[in-house]
């Protein structure tokens, strides 16, 4: 049986958000806004079509013997050499036998599918047995044009043969014609495109259906038999229209990947095919078409062998391993579209001696070192003498390829002085498992990600380009791998977290960090538009789940709508079914529908309240039930500066957002006795909700990652705070609180004061000096029943009032062991407000231990605001009065709390 025996994919790690292009160039080309959704894959400065093809081919060859390959085809319209066989370099990088046939396919976007048909026919004809076909493209575009928005960089590869076939080849059909929708002159960097409407109507709309129908007719099959239809077309609506015209069900059409990576030229049918293979099941029929001066269509049928493929990146993994950037200037620099001053050091001669390149070809392109045949010691580079001091044998080295040997960082440095397109230049030494070390450049990482001992993977990259002679140099570099060994102290192993709206922005960042620290995460996202419109899409949540899984974490996707009770219940159900429980809920899902108040329609008002406020209720209520039963929970609400302080045009949003603070205020009380803490975050971060309301330079500095630490801390067992609101953004954190002034009581309190009395006391009513937070509504009511002295009337001398921490520090000294005979109790103090905190006081065997934090099983818990606590300690507030007025709350064994007065002799 002839067909595809394996597949692999590669996307560069960097993804440029298209919104960033619009932010920089929208003033010049506003029309590009129409296609500014999502992100496009962009090559790092040291990547090109060839390096991407190597990466995809390696993914394809995972766990597969390479020695039986007898041909290698490389398809691309952006190969680095017009005359030096690029497939030959690919073969050298893959360490393939020199006796194979290599060929470049180029000069049309359908070059990939042409190479595929040619390879399949060569095997069919018996000339070859196993062929690897890779396709890659990294097209250059002018700035601020549709091509820049549509295109992306990427690669994919297939191995073909007759054994272990995962997708059986059923046949192909081709139309070749000189339809010039675009072209690139031999001496030009950029494509020239003809009128869009004509390209759509006369090109895509006619040629693709004609070819696909031709194939189906040839095979005697119908469009309804097609389980996965793969064809590139960067006009999104046209893509849908062509599929519909062909009669293929919409759910069977593979997405054109505009949102996630952009159109990758000759590689695009390959990448889309890889996406189809990721989800295909045995028996499924796939039709794959490649467009460009005609069209090629191929048909495959999936076999059960697909389940046996060794684990590799596939398309999903390639998509997930990503770092999103808004740095458009970096994109331009990496593509050599802007000139920067590189300094005198950059003028050092860069000529490559092809004599040396030939002599050291295996070492440079294939990362082949040596291994001593006598003692087995590997070394890089290969030398005449074995490096093992106890061996030192001469001329005993055999070839030893290092490219796939796991390695770890031994040393590293970041060098701002060395010439680099992306400073600092990061280099150092890696140690290979089983022996061998080499000095390397590190790539696809940030300096702050590196640490000694981190696992690395060797990758084939561009070392540099000799601009004078147009020569690209290649060598191997090291990429740090996400470590599963964590040095984190705060962990979430065994915890289950729900993050709503986690398909992007802040929610995605929370989900990734929780998973990285061991939590099992339900990634919920409806995948709708910014204003909540549209049917929604599963892909954002699925992409984040794939990202977590690629990093070794555990997650499931949920596409339910938080705005309905059923949706909320289903989200919690997903957590319980997948992971057994719920410990953490981050209510983060959000939409915006800004309008000035008079234009605020009931529909826009309600939609925003439904998602933010009711959404938090719908998800938290069923989760709270689970948490209550288990006696543990952490809930985070998401408010906003608009809600806390107000923002023009956002009445609906502000009301919903402050409503969440109200929800928290009461939930913190109801959750306290079950170990459930509820807090609120007011984030500030660059996301699609804020992309057009912030200046671009500020936008770039506001990564969601700067909000993450506080939010994830609020989700941890280590955090005892409850009922608090925090602002977080750009790495800055502070607490926001509602405080109540000391106020004033004009008149005698028996008769209502008149308006004139209000006017006369206006300043005192407004005065916030000595203002305090209230633990709950009862405390605020008590303040009215027994008002505190007005500001200034009784300013306690600072020296007289100890601080809360000092009181607990002094507690062991105040302990009376005699009174503690036979007493065994743990008193948990929860002191809220400024200077407060949590302390546990354990009394056992006539000894007393005081320490901060939370006790596992306290005998009773005393909850009180810091000023009241100090008043009680200093004798200004009678404990019984504090209890009866609600200032002091006691949970658990209330009677045991009465022992406190006997056990401790705290002196005022």
Check residue 688 for interaction with ligand NAI (CB under 6 A).
yes
Single out the residue of 19, 506, 623, 888 in contact with ligand NAI (rule: CB under 6 A).
Answer: 506
CB 899 within 8 A of CB 823: yes
CB 272 within 8 A of CB 257: yes
Check residue 665 for interaction with ligand NAI (CB under 6 A).
no
Single out the residue of 112, 480, 532, 836 in contact with ligand NAI (rule: CB under 6 A).
Answer: 532
- The residue whose Cβ lies closest to ligand NAI is 505
Check residue 523 for interaction with ligand NAI (CB under 6 A).
no
Token pair, residue 602, equals 């009931």
Token pair, residue 764, equals 């005192």
Check residue 684 for interaction with ligand NAI (CB under 6 A).
yes
Check residue 743 for interaction with ligand NAI (CB under 6 A).
no
Distances (CA, A) of 553 to 483, 500, 547, 704: 11, 18, 9, 20
Single out the residue of 22, 54, 497, 589 in contact with ligand NAI (rule: CB under 6 A).
Answer: 589
What does the alpha-carbon distance between residue 243 and residue 223 come to, in Å, rounded to a whole number? Answer: 9
CB 479 within 8 A of CB 456: yes
Which of these segments, 477-485, 521-529, 711-719, 770-778, binds ligand NAI (CB under 6 A)? 521-529
Catalytic, 645? Answer no
- In the complex, minimum distance from the CB of residue 690 to ligand NAI, in angstroms, rounded to a whole number: 4
Q: How far is CA 818 from the centre of its chain?
A: 59
Distances (CA, A) of 198 to 175, 181, 620: 19, 8, 53
Check residue 710 for interaction with ligand NAI (CB under 6 A).
no
Cross-strand partners of 852: 839
Check residue 501 for interaction with ligand NAI (CB under 6 A).
yes
Query: Residue for token digits 């029929």?
Result: 285
Single out the residue of 472, 687, 727, 840 in contact with ligand NAI (rule: CB under 6 A).
Answer: 687
Of 73, 169, 427, 653, which residue is the catalytic one?
A: 653
Inter-residue long-range contacts of 693-701, CB under 8 Å, 24+ positions, other chains counted:
696/20, 696/23, 696/24, 696/326, 699/23, 699/326, 700/20, 700/326, 700/327, 701/730
DSSP for residue 30: G
Q: How far is CA 566 from the centre of its chain?
A: 27
What does the alpha-carbon distance between residue 276 and residue 229 come to, in Å, rounded to a whole number? Answer: 8
What does the alpha-carbon distance between residue 308 and residue 165 come to, in Å, rounded to a whole number? Answer: 10
Check residue 507 for interaction with ligand NAI (CB under 6 A).
yes
Single out the residue of 172, 524, 614, 775 in contact with ligand NAI (rule: CB under 6 A).
Answer: 524
Nearest to 792 by CA among 771, 777, 806: 771
Check residue 659 for interaction with ligand NAI (CB under 6 A).
no
Q: Tell me which H or E stretch contains 169.
A: strand 167-176
For 487, residues 6+ apart whose C-beta sits below 8 A from its C-beta are none
- In the complex, minimum distance from the CB of residue 512 to ligand NAI, in angstroms, rounded to a whole number: 13
Check residue 622 for interaction with ligand NAI (CB under 6 A).
no
Which of these segments, 61-69, 427-435, 467-475, 559-567, binds ligand NAI (CB under 6 A)? 559-567
Residue closer to ligand NAI by CB (options 480, 507) is: 507
Check residue 537 for interaction with ligand NAI (CB under 6 A).
no
Cross-strand partners of 557: 523
Query: Residue for token digits 């000799």?
Result: 466
Check residue 836 for interaction with ligand NAI (CB under 6 A).
no
Nearest to 153 by CA among 287, 276, 292, 12: 12
Residue closer to ligand NAI by CB (options 68, 692) is: 692
Single out the residue of 689, 721, 774, 848 in contact with ligand NAI (rule: CB under 6 A).
Answer: 689
In terms of Cβ atoms closer than 10 Å to its own Cβ (0-12, 13-18, 19+), residue 578 is: middle
Nearest to 246 by CA among 211, 272, 292: 211
Nearest to 41 by CA among 696, 543, 778, 747: 543
For 578, residues 6+ apart whose C-beta sits below 8 A from its C-beta are 520, 522, 556
Which of these segments, 120-128, 377-385, 409-417, 583-591, binds ligand NAI (CB under 6 A)? 583-591
CB 616 within 8 A of CB 664: no
Single out the residue of 292, 435, 480, 528 in contact with ligand NAI (rule: CB under 6 A).
Answer: 528
Cross-strand partners of 137: 154
Check residue 563 for interaction with ligand NAI (CB under 6 A).
yes
Residue closer to ligand NAI by CB (options 676, 707) is: 707
Check residue 38 for interaction with ligand NAI (CB under 6 A).
no
Check residue 724 for interaction with ligand NAI (CB under 6 A).
no
Residue closer to ligand NAI by CB (options 218, 595) is: 595
Which of these segments, 160-168, 426-434, 519-527, 618-626, binds ligand NAI (CB under 6 A)? 519-527
Angle at 310 between CA 305 and CA 314, to 5 degrees: 95
Helices (H), 247-360: 268-279, 314-320, 328-334, 354-359
Residue closer to ligand NAI by CB (options 337, 641) is: 641
- In the complex, minimum distance from the CB of residue 373 to ligand NAI, in angstroms, rounded to a whole number: 58
Single out the residue of 591, 725, 804, 841 in contact with ligand NAI (rule: CB under 6 A).
Answer: 591
Residue closer to ligand NAI by CB (options 230, 685) is: 685
Which of these segments, 395-403, 523-531, 549-557, 879-887, binds ligand NAI (CB under 6 A)? 523-531
Which of these segments, 323-331, 361-369, 520-528, 596-604, binds ligand NAI (CB under 6 A)? 520-528
Residue closer to ligand NAI by CB (options 524, 828) is: 524
Single out the residue of 525, 542, 773, 776 in contact with ligand NAI (rule: CB under 6 A).
Answer: 525
Which of these segments, 2-10, 334-342, 361-369, 501-509, binds ligand NAI (CB under 6 A)? 501-509
Check residue 540 for interaction with ligand NAI (CB under 6 A).
yes
Single out the residue of 503, 633, 743, 867 in contact with ligand NAI (rule: CB under 6 A).
Answer: 503
Single out the residue of 523, 611, 676, 841 in contact with ligand NAI (rule: CB under 6 A).
Answer: 611
Check residue 256 for interaction with ligand NAI (CB under 6 A).
no
Single out the residue of 320, 685, 708, 728 in contact with ligand NAI (rule: CB under 6 A).
Answer: 685
In terms of Cβ atoms closer than 10 Å to its own Cβ (0-12, 13-18, 19+), residue 628 is: middle
DSSP for residue 506: H
Residue closer to ligand NAI by CB (options 53, 664) is: 664
The answer to whether the bond into 424 is cis (omega within 30° of 0) is yes
- As a whole number of Å, the CA-based R_g of the chain is 33
DSSP for residue 311: P
- In the complex, minimum distance from the CB of residue 547 to ligand NAI, in angstroms, rounded to a whole number: 14
**How many amino acids of this chain bind ligand NAI (CB under 6 A)?**
33
Check residue 104 for interaction with ligand NAI (CB under 6 A).
no
- In the complex, minimum distance from the CB of residue 272 to ligand NAI, in angstroms, rounded to a whole number: 24
Single out the residue of 203, 294, 504, 622 in contact with ligand NAI (rule: CB under 6 A).
Answer: 504
Buried b (16+ CB within 10 A) or exposed e, 370-405: bbbeeeebbbbebeeebbbeeeeeeebbeebbbbeb
- In the complex, minimum distance from the CB of residue 256 to ligand NAI, in angstroms, rounded to a whole number: 20
The 3-state secondary structure of 593-640, one letter per residue: CCECHHHCCHHHHHHHHHHHHHHHHHHHHHHHHHHHHHCCEEEEEECC
What does the alpha-carbon distance between residue 720 and residue 724 come to, in Å, rounded to a whole number? Answer: 11
- In the complex, minimum distance from the CB of residue 242 to ligand NAI, in angstroms, rounded to a whole number: 28
Which of these segments, 232-240, 278-286, 504-512, 872-880, binds ligand NAI (CB under 6 A)? 504-512
Check residue 92 for interaction with ligand NAI (CB under 6 A).
no
- In the complex, minimum distance from the CB of residue 206 to ligand NAI, in angstroms, rounded to a whole number: 37
Which stretches of the chain bind ligand NAI, using CB under 6 A? 500-501, 503-507, 524-528, 530, 532, 540, 561-563, 588-591, 611, 615, 638, 640, 683-685, 687-690
Residues tagged active-site: 653
């Amino acid at each position: 049986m002839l067909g595809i025996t394996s597949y692999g994919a590669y996307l560069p790690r960097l993804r440029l958000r298209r919104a960033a292009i619009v932010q920089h160039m929208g003033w010049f080309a506003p029309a590009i806004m129409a296609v500014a959704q999502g992100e496009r894959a962009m090559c790092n400065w040291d990547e090109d079509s060839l390096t991407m093809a190597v990466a995809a081919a390696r993914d394809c060859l995972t766990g597969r013997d390479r020695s039986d390959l007898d041909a290698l085809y490389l398809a691309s319209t952006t190969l680095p050499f017009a005359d030096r066989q690029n497939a030959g370099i690919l073969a050298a990088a893959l360490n393939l036998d020199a006796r194979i046939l290599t060929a470049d396919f180029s000069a049309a976007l359908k070059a990939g599918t042409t190479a595929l048909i040619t390879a399949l026919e060569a095997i069919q004809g018996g000339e070859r047995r196993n062929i690897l076909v890779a396709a890659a493209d990294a097209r250059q575009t002018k700035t601020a044009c549709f091509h820049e928005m549509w295109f992306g960089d990427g690669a994919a590869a297939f191995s073909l043969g007759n054994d272990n076939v995962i997708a059986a080849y059923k046949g192909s059909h081709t139309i070749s014609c000189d339809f010039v929708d675009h072209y690139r002159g031999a001496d030009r960097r950029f494509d020239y495109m003809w009128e869009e409407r004509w390209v759509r109507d006369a090109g895509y709309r006619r040629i693709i259906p004609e070819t696909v129908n031709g194939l189906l007719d040839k095979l005697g099959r119908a469009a309804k038999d097609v389980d996965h239809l793969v064809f590139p077309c960067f006009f999104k609506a046209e893509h849908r229209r062509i599929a519909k015209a062909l009669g293929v069900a919409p759910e069977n059409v593979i997405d054109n990947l505009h949102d996630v990576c952009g159109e990758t030229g000759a590689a695009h049918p390959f990448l889309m095919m890889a996406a189809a293979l990721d989800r295909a099941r045995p028996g499924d029929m796939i039709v794959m078409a490649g467009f460009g001066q005609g069209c090629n269509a191929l048909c495959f049928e999936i076999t059960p062998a697909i389940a046996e493929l060794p684990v590799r990146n596939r398309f999903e993994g390639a998509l997930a391993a990503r770092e999103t950037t808004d740095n458009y200037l970096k994109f331009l620099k990496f593509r050599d579209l802007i000139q920067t001053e590189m300094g005198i050091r950059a003028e050092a001669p860069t000529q490559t001696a092809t004599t040396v390149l030939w002599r050291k070809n295996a070492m440079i392109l294939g990362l082949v070192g040596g291994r001593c045949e006598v003692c087995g010691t590997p070394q890089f580079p290969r030398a005449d003498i074995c490096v093992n001091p106890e061996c030192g044998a001469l001329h005993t080295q055999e070839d030893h390829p290092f490219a796939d040997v796991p390695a770890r960082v031994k040393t590293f440095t970041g060098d701002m002085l060395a010439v680099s397109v992306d400073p600092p230049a990061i280099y150092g030494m890696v140690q290979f498992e089983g022996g061998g070390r080499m000095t390397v450049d590190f790539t696809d990482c940030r300096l702050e990600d590196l640490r000694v001992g981190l696992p690395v993977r060797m990758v084939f990259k561009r070392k540099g380009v000799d601009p004078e002679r147009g020569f690209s140099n290649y060598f191997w570099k090291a990429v740090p791998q996400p470590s599963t060994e964590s040095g984190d102290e705060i962990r979430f192993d065994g915890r289950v977290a729900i993050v709503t709206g986690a398909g992007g922005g802040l929610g995605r960042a929370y989900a990734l960090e929780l998973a990285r620290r061991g939590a099992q995460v339900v990634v919920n996202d409806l995948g709708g538009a910014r204003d909540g419109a549209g049917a929604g899409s599963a892909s954002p949540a699925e992409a984040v789940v794939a990202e977590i899984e690629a990093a070794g974490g555990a997650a499931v996707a949920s596409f339910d709508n938080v705005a309905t009770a059923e949706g909320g219940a289903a989200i919690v159900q997903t957590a319980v079914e997948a992971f057994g429980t719920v410990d953490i809920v981050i209510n983060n899902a959000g939409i915006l529908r800004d309008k000035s108040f008079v234009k605020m329609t009931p529909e826009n008002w309600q939609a925003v309240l439904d998602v933010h406020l009711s959404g938090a209720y719908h998800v938290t209520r069923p989760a709270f039930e689970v948490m209550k039963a288990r006696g543990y929970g952490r809930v985070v609400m998401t408010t906003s500066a608009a809600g806390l302080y107000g923002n023009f045009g956002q009445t609906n949003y502000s009301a919903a957002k402050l409503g969440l603070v109200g929800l928290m205020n009461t939930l913190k009380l109801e959750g306290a006795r079950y170990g459930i803490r509820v807090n609120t975050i007011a984030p500030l971060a660059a996301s699609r909700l804020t992309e057009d309301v912030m200046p671009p330079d500020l936008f770039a500095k506001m990564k969601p990652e700067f909000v993450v630490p506080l939010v994830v801390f609020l989700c941890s067992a280590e955090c005892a705070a409850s009922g608090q609101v925090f602002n977080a953004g750009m790495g800055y954190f502070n607490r926001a609180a509602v405080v109540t002034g000391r106020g004033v009581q004009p008149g005698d309190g028996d008769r209502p004061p008149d308006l004139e009395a209000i006017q006369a006391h206006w300043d005192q009513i407004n005065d916030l000096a000595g203002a305090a937070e209230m633990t709950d509504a009862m405390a605020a009511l008590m303040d009215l029943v027994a008002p505190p002295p007005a500001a200034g009337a009784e300013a306690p001398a600072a020296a007289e009032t100890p601080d809360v921490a000092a009181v607990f520090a002094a507690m062991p000294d105040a302990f009376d062991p005699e009174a503690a005979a036979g007493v065994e109790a743990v008193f948990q103090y929860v002191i809220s407000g400024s200077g407060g905190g949590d302390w546990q006081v354990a009394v056992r065997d006539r000894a007393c231990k005081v320490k901060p934090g939370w006790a596992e099983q306290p005998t009773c818990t005393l909850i009180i605001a810091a000023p009241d606590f100090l008043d009680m300690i200093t004798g200004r507030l009678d404990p019984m009065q504090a209890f009866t007025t609600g200032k002091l709350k006691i949970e658990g064994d209330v009677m045991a709390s009465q022992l406190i007065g006997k056990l401790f002799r705290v002196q005022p």
